[in-house]
Amino acid sequence: MRRQESVTTPSQTGARFDLVIIGSGPGGYVGAVRAAQLGLKTAIVEKDPDLGGTCLLRGCIPTKALLQSAALHQTLRHAGEFGFKIGDVRLDFQAVQKRKTGIVERMSKGVAFLMKKNAVQVFEGIGKIEAPGRVSVQSKSGKSQILETKNVLIATGSEAKGLPGMEPDGKKILTSDHILELGAVPKSLIILGAGAVGVEFASIFSSFGSQVTLVELLPRIVPGEDEEISKELERCFRKRGITSRTGAKVQKASPGPKGVEVTLIAGEAGKTESLSAEMLLLGVGRRPKSDGLGLDKTRAVVEKGFVKVDAAYRTAEPGVYAIGDVVGRAPLAHVASHEAVAAVETMAGGQPHPINYDQVPWCTYCEPEVARVGLTEKQAAERGYQVKSGKFPFSVLARAQILGETEGFVKIVSEQKYGEVLGVHIIGPRATELVSEGAALLKLEATTEEIIATMHAHPTLSEAMGEAALDVLGRSLNR
């Protein structure tokens, strides 16, 4: 895949800019568009030959494309339940990968079009701060040029994290980058880490026929979610044949000609046991990409790889800003976009809307989907709230039964005295779409009574939101 539009080679310009952005992910390119709208002469420096960053090229977008194919595979295998008689459903994994790649290419070209439309100059190469107001761009050919600029926005994102003694080789021990490019589905797969990355790939490859085992150091899978959500997802996974090993630490991983043997230390007694699979996926998180940016030549502070910024995303170096995963406040694409807009509007002398990180929607696209916004019951209690909660299962809803997707529920966490909604937690069909209503509720400081007074159409999945609010008050109408 090769970007064609809106590329400037380092030898073609010596222009001065109001803003140079390092990184073209959902933080970098959105920041560039907003800067152009505000009249700032803007450039983007991107080391990859294609625009879009990790999210588009190696993260959110290709992963969700595979998940959609996996979901369709599951539906086709149960076509008889919908009244269709079809033959054996055979997976063409090469075609699945081709579709994924096509989506990524089209989206990347779309980002390039946006840069051209907004007169943002794009430089392909490695960006580095050389001195205040000076960013070097080194191309793959070794040529270098200095861009002069009033402001710099660091939007370099993050990369897959490895573990000591388990170095990825791309064949037996994989990162999330490697597994997106597999040519065939492994017969068996151990996934180390049961957060969003782990459970999404567990869903994908289980649907495609792999025997999947999740290994999680903490006591439950998706440990950032409400406890009831974790329990429900583990139950659903168990039903699908996905094994979850929680409270287990990987001592070592030994690749061999037939696959990988993993040694676990599990349980309070520290019992050692072995698991084997064709491949091991390291899904243990990501680390910020802050090395090699020249920040050591500035007053910017970097701690454990994260760039320290204030509420307006300014570093301690005047004119240098940072947003997104490299800051680490909430490592999500949509957060990076909002942070970039806020940083750029600050540069332009505006007053951007503040970001409330308690109101960030978090989405996990496993099967069933998981989404949340706001506080869990435990978090709310720890902050001193008197908490009431209510739940409503999708299995009761006509729409869920029509879809054939009845697992999961909506849970609302509210403050007891005034009924203000503190958190919305969803597991089930279209959870990642439904959570946007929860985000609006928190933004507007809505109460459970106001949710009840809001009419939800029938038959829809969103009815579960109104019914969960009714359940908070002990007034559920449909169960």
Q: Kindly report whether the global pTM for this prediction surpasses the value 0.85.
A: yes
pLDDT attached to residue 32: 98
Query: Which amino acid is located at 407 in the chain?
Result: E
Instruction: Quote the strand ranges of 125-228, DSSP E.
Output: 126-131, 134-138, 144-154, 158-160, 173-174, 188-192, 211-216
- Quote the CA–CA distance of 18 and 129 in Å, as a whole number: 15
Q: Find all residues with CB under 8 Å of 238, minimum gap 6, and list them.
A: 244
Q: Find all residues with CB under 8 Å of 261, minimum gap 6, and list them.
A: 253, 254, 274, 275, 276
Instruction: Quote the strand ranges of 139-285, DSSP E.
Output: 144-154, 158-160, 173-174, 188-192, 211-216, 243-246, 248-256, 259-266, 271-277, 279-282
Q: So which residues are the catalytic ones?
A: 458
- Quote the CA–CA distance of 274 and 213 in Å, as a whole number: 12
CA–CA distances in Å: residue 228 to residues 377, 415, 426, 429: 10, 18, 10, 17
pLDDT attached to residue 14: 55
* Domains located in the chain, CATH noted: 10-159+287-347 (3.50.50.60), 173-284 (3.50.50.60), 368-472 (3.30.390.30)
Q: How many CB atoms lie within 10 A of CB 290?
A: 23
Query: Which amino acid is located at 215 in the chain?
Result: V
The pLDDT profile of the chain, 479 residues, written as one tens digit per residue, is 444 444 444 444 457 999 999 999 999 999 999 999 999 999 999 999 999 999 999 999 999 999 999 999 999 999 999 999 998 899 999 999 999 999 999 999 999 999 999 999 999 999 999 999 999 999 988 899 999 999 999 999 999 888 888 889 999 999 999 999 999 999 999 999 999 999 999 999 999 999 999 999 999 999 999 999 999 999 999 999 999 999 999 888 988 888 999 999 987 777 898 999 999 999 998 999 999 999 998 999 999 999 999 999 999 999 999 999 999 999 999 999 999 999 999 999 999 999 999 999 999 999 999 999 999 999 999 999 999 999 999 999 999 999 999 999 999 999 999 999 999 999 999 999 999 999 999 999 999 999 999 999 999 999 999 999 999 999 999 98
SS3 category, 421: strand
pLDDT attached to residue 3: 42
* 8 A C-beta contact, residue 174 and residue 168: yes
- Quote the CA–CA distance of 167 and 241 in Å, as a whole number: 28
SS3 category, 28: helix
Q: How many CB atoms lie within 10 A of CB 420?
A: 16
* 8 A C-beta contact, residue 317 and residue 131: no
pLDDT attached to residue 4: 41
